[in-house]
Chain A
Amino acid sequence: MLSMQNISMVYRTDTVETHALRQFNLDVGEGEFVAITGPSGSGKTTFLNIAGLLEKFTSGRYELDGKDVSSLSDAATSRVRNEKIGFVFQGFNLIPDLNVFDNVDVPLRYRGFNGAERKQRIERVLDMVGLASRQKHLPAQLSGGQQQRVAIARALAGEPRFLLADEPTGNLDSQMAMSIMELIQEINRGGTTIIMVTHDPTLANLAGRNVHIRDGRVSDSDADTQLAEVAVG
């Protein structure tokens, strides 16, 4: 599903070179639920940006769904993001001036679906996240948990092959966080591949596999979710 080989990412200024990822290797299989953990500055966000095709990397090879995506044009990259990847952001990233329906509609319009198809998809995913009755609400009229559910609905409406979640519960209290995690697990059980970046060991434990990043490299990876053994720091 996702294969990164020797990915390096170097940020350069006139005087400084920062190696955000060094010879980074990772393979994620179809239907996996992988948690990415690591301390601040370890390269988690850079990995997420590259995995989600939000940023170009300096060197290496990245295959997504069996295709090399390292040399795609900007428009082609946008299309891959739209069709194959769903994003869930820590801060929800809902558009404050659009109501719930229109927020979920955003990626579907870029996909070019007709009105009827979009409506059917939006209603289905909002029903799935339990917000079917809040279609006309603005984000500001929803709780944090509800906003993240809208963001998840938006990510799922296009039926992506995999979901990238960046600290999806980072701005939520523990009760809401667990509720969101249950929803993400349920999505994974439905067959969607999920990569979740998190600081929280408890949440990482809920993933099928945990990958720990340190200094831009995979420092440890397990398949049995024993996060304690790859303890942070």
Chain B
Amino acid sequence: MQFGPIWRALMRNKTGAILIALQVAVTMAIMVNAISIIQTRAEAMARPSGIDEPNIFYISSIGFNDAFNERVAVEEDLAALRAMPGVVDALQTNSVPLSGGGWSMGLQTEPGDDMDGVGVAVYFVDDHALDTYDLELVAGEFFSPTDIEWREGSSSTWPDRTVITVAMAEALFGEDEWRSGVGKTVYINNNEPMTVTGIIDRMQAAWNGWDGVERTMLVPQRTLFGSSRYIIRAEPGLRDELMPQVEEMLAQSNKDRIVRGLRTMEETRERSYRGDASMIKLLMFTIGLLLLITALGIVGLASFSVSRRTKQIGTRRALGATRADIAGYFMSENLLISGMGVLLGAALTVGLNMWMVDAFDLDRMEVWLVPAAMGVLLVVGQLAVFGPARRASSVPPAVATRTV
């Protein structure tokens, strides 16, 4: 390699090289920060909800006249749903994970209005919740049938027990002490005591963008809110077959209500992360476009350089350069230009990330992204310059003796 003379020659004719280096630097800064955002979003999207998403669907039942007895309807509906062939289990609840709408409260370990509570998503469930959601109980006990109460829409009191997620237990009792939460009393509405009877591994809240999305509590109550949402878990492979059957059964079993909102958990997840998925696609497109533009810039500069230096290439060939030497010259030249670009880009990337973290409250990028992006851009540069370099290497040495 002849980096010394190539560098000195570049420095005497540097405008094009500097522009390409700047382009590489800007591309790198945008690329790395975009990848960092993609990473954050993709990680969020990949978080397990804690429930058996592929086999779960849900539907709402809303009474529309005075003849509708919600309590009776819920009991009959649940009995009918649980008896349907292909249904693993079913329950009535107030909200669906990742659906965007739900309840939240605050729990605290000490009573008192002046104590800080820890935000928690609330699901009203019955003793079938473990089977219906396929939750994993990791400590304590779950609700028994006798624990289940009815909750009116106007009620502001809470039952005496709850089951919480590990994340909520960690937030309340400490990361290493979460198991000790079983049997302890926590306070809702500042002063109402509830005993933590069990802890489940994981169940996400309704809001995927909430930083406490893993903090959830289950409350042993069925609701009488006028609108019931039934969660149904099908046996593997039977979900799509069951969905219309469930809808039909509910519609026919009680004419005083309407059923609507039949939806799978998978669709709910897709809807929940639709914005993130679109953002990822847009950012990936932007990265691809920037890389393409940068590569085209490199191709353009190298092609111009080859055309401008045809005689010089012929002379080098006459003086003993092999085809590989000529190709190597242009590849090395690009390596220097791209090298300048990625070094500048590294600084620019870090600066942009610091600003974005500050301005948009984003996660700090992972450090390994910088050397990885440097490598990618150097490879892209080498690939882009390969064509022009090959063309240069095919310039015949006889060009050296041509006078025009």
Q: Which of A37-67 contact B (CB under 8 A)?
A: 45, 48-49, 52-55
B290 CB–A CB distance under 8 Å = no
Q: Is B403 a contact partner of A107 (Cβ separation < 8 A)?
A: no
Stretch at the interface among B109-117, B140-148, B319-327: B319-327
Contact in complex: B319, A82 (CB < 8 Å): yes
Contact with A along B385-404 (1 / 0, CB 8 A): 00000000000111011010
Q: Are the C-beta atoms of A97 and B13 separated by less than 8 Å?
A: yes
Which of A28-36, A85-93, A127-135, A223-231 is the contact stretch? A85-93
B9 touches A97 (CB 8 A): yes
Stretch at the interface among A71-79, A178-186, A205-213: A71-79
| A111-143 interface code vs B (CB 8 A; 1 in, 0 out) | 100000000000000000000000000100000
Task: Identify the closest chain A residue to B393 (Cβ).
Answer: A74
A93 to B312, CA, bound (A): 7
CB distance from A5 to the nearest CB of B (A): 21
What DSSP secondary structure best describes chain B's contact surface?
Answer: helix
Taking the closest CB of chain A, its distance from the CB of B271, in whole angstroms, is 60
Partner of A75, one of B5, B12, B322: B322
In the assembled complex, A154 has its CB within 8 A of some CB on chain B: yes
Which residues on the A side are within 8 Å of B401 (C-beta)? 45, 48-49, 52, 54, 89, 166
CB of A204, distance to nearest CB on chain B (Å) = 18
B: number of interface residues (CB 8 Å)? 26
A81→B311 contact, CB < 8 A: no
Say yes or no: A78 contacts B9, CB within 8 Å. no
Q: Is B317 an interface residue (CB 8 A)?
A: yes
Other-chain contact of B319, A48, A81, A97 (Cβ < 8 Å): A81
With contacts A54-B398, A55-B398 taken as known, whether A91 is within 8 angstroms of B403 at the C-beta atoms is: yes
Q: For window 220-258 of chain B, which residues contact chain A by CB distance below 8 Å?
A: none
A189 proximal to B (CB < 8 A) = no
Using a CB-CB cutoff of 8 Å, which residues 300-345 of chain B contact chain A?
311-312, 315-325
Residues of A within 8 A of B400 (CB): 54, 87, 89, 93
Chain A residues closer than 8 Å to B325, beta-carbon distance: 78, 110
Residue of B5, B312, B319, B321 near A102 (CB, 8 A) is B5
The contact of A78 among B12, B315, B320, by CB within 8 Å, is B320
Interface flags, A5-45, vs B, CB<8A=1, else 0: 00000000000000000000000000000000000000001
Which residues of chain B have C-beta atoms less than 8 A from A48's C-beta? 401
CA distance A111 to B397 in the complex (A): 17
Would you call A75 and B318 a contact (CB within 8 A)? no
Complex formed: what's the CA distance from A53 to B397 in Å?
9
Chain A interface (Cβ within 8 Å of chain B)?
45, 48-49, 52-55, 74-75, 78-79, 81-83, 87, 89-91, 93, 95, 97-99, 102, 105-107, 109-111, 138, 154, 158, 166
The 26 sampled A-B contact pairs (Cβ below 8 Å) are A54-B318, A54-B398, A55-B397, A74-B323, A78-B317, A78-B320, A79-B322, A82-B320, A83-B320, A87-B318, A91-B403, A93-B318, A95-B315, A95-B316, A97-B10, A97-B12, A98-B9, A105-B5, A106-B5, A107-B320, A109-B2, A109-B5, A110-B320, A110-B325, A154-B319, A166-B401
